[in-house]
Amino acid sequence: HHDGTPEVARVLVADDDDAFRASIRRMLYGFAVEVDEAADGAAALEMMTERPPDVILLDMLMPRLDGNALLQRMSDEQALRQVGVVVVTVRPDTAPPGHPVLPKQGLRRDQLLQAVRDAVGAARG
């Protein structure tokens, strides 16, 4: 943008927990962030293929296509390799290496914002 306004970052929340997706949406409300939601990995993949987000907040345990399978598919797709990945999980110890991880329990708004900002920055290079 030439008018100095920051571009809106697109965040896809891929998680089968409706309440958690809603809480993420609330935490990001009021920031220059557009939030999309997917309730499972297959839906997330479909949405990303149509319109790649800047960042995906990825739950590892999901129906139809789990987090690991989704990451694999993303690495196979040229257009999805640019998407920043932030893993959100109840068990941070099970998160795949190489991605920032946020705890689902007790997730703080500042933690979330920082992770999203960092991932957007990395995705946009």
pLDDT tens readout for residues 60-93: 999 999 999 999 999 999 999 999 999 999 888 8
Between 88 and 94, the more confident residue is: 88
| Contact present, 31 and 19 (Cβ < 8 Å) | no
User: Rounded distance, CA 6 to CA 89, Å?
Assistant: 29
pLDDT of residue 1: 45
The domain segmentation of the chain, as residue ranges, is 9-124
Q: What is the 3-class SS of 66-108, one letter each residue? A: CHHHHHHHHHHCHHHCCCEEEEEECCHHHCCCCCCEEECCCCC
The domain 9-124 belongs to what CATH superfamily? Response regulator (3.40.50.2300)
Percent of the chain topping pLDDT 90? 74
Tell me the helix, strand and coil percentages in the chain, rounded to 5: 40, 20, 35
Residue 32 predicted with pLDDT over 80: yes
- Pairwise CA distance, residues 47 & 109, whole Å: 25
Q: Which pLDDT does position 5 carry in this prediction?
A: 59
In terms of Cα–Cα distance, which of 28, 30, 32 is closest to 57? 28
